[in-house]
Amino acid sequence: MVPAFKTALHVFLLFVLSISVANAQGNSDQGTFDPEARLKELGIELPPAPNPVANYVNGVRTGNLIFLAGKGPKRSDGSEITGKLGDDITIEQGYEAARLTAINQMAVLKEMLGDLSKVKRVVKVLGMVNSDPDFVEQPAVINGFSDLIVEVFGERGRHARAAVGMASLPRGQSVEIEMIVEVED
């Protein structure tokens, strides 16, 4: 074989091999992806999905997208984390409220899908924070939601997000969070 051709062939084969390895790594969680096992590792048991409090449904599926209605930090006993960030709720308490809201949203997804491993991607999150007018740390609060979603879903949980302040939220809850999720059949 001509040395130049042999070198070109070698480079080509290395290129094909590197693409194969990259594709395999990009899909490495396909066989082992188990968000429900991850919840167990974290010591989190999903409650029953919270019922809507007005004339709406918890989520609507259109095609391969699920649009989840806003949920708040409702505890399993029915009580909620209430209060205004920057007034009577700390950032740490708001973070925990957002984390609890993530648990409630995952409960809705579980009810709708039957299996959380059908989540292909968390696409978008809208986090609303009941805020004092001078409070500007809404992203730090909504990180409680985002951090848990990424802990449970890994790279599939990384999402676009808005974290905004609101003058008030229903029943005085400290946060309300919506989510859009891409799912597999």
Q: Give the separation between CA 150 and CA 171, rounded to whole angstroms.
A: 28
pLDDT at 1: 54
- What pLDDT score was predicted for residue 185? 80
> Considering the entire predicted model, what is its pTM?
0.83
Distance CA 15, CA 77 (A): 57
Average pLDDT over residues 156-180: 98
Q: What is the pLDDT of residue 75?
A: 95
pLDDT in tens, 43-73: 999 999 998 989 999 999 999 999 999 999 9
If asked whether residues 45 and 132 sit together in one domain, one would say yes
Spatial distance between the Cα atoms of 133 and 166, rounded to a whole number of angstroms: 9
Give me Rg for the CA atoms of the chain.
21
User: Is the confidence at residue 31, as pLDDT, over 90?
Assistant: no
pLDDT > 50? residue 39:
yes
Q: Which residue has the tokens 């399993």?
A: 76
7/57 same-domain check:
no
What average pLDDT score do residues 26-43 get? Answer: 77
Say how far apart CA 70 and CA 100 lie, in whole Å: 13
- Buried-state track 111-123, b at ≥16 Cβ within 10 A, e below 16: ebbeebbbbbbbe
23-27, 62-66, 116-120, 137-141: the lowest-pLDDT one: 23-27
46 and 64 within one domain: yes
Range of the domain at 15: 1-31
Counting the structural domains of the chain, the total is 2
- Work out the mean pLDDT of the chain and round it to a whole number: 88
Asked if 40 and 24 sit in the same domain, the reply is: no
Which of 8-22, 54-68, 78-92, 105-119 is predicted least confidently?
8-22
Residues 23 and 47 in one domain: no
pLDDT, tens digit, 9 for 90 and up, residues 159-168: 999 999 999 9
User: HSE of 141 in the Cβ direction (CA atoms, 13 Å)?
Assistant: 33
pLDDT of residue 153: 98
**68/156 same-domain check:** yes
Residues 79 and 20 in one domain: no
**For residue 75, what is the domain's CATH number?**
3.30.1330.40
Instruction: Give the whole-angstrom CA distance, residue 148 versus residue 146.
Output: 6
Q: Do 96 and 169 reside in the same domain of the chain? A: yes
Instruction: Find the mean pLDDT for residues 125-147.
Output: 98
> Does 166 lie in the same domain as 150?
yes
Alpha carbon distance 71, 53 (integer Å):
10
Check pLDDT > 90 for residue 2. Answer: no
Residue bearing the bigger pLDDT, 16 or 140 = 140
Residues 1 and 68 in one domain: no
**Are residues 27 and 76 both part of a single domain?**
no
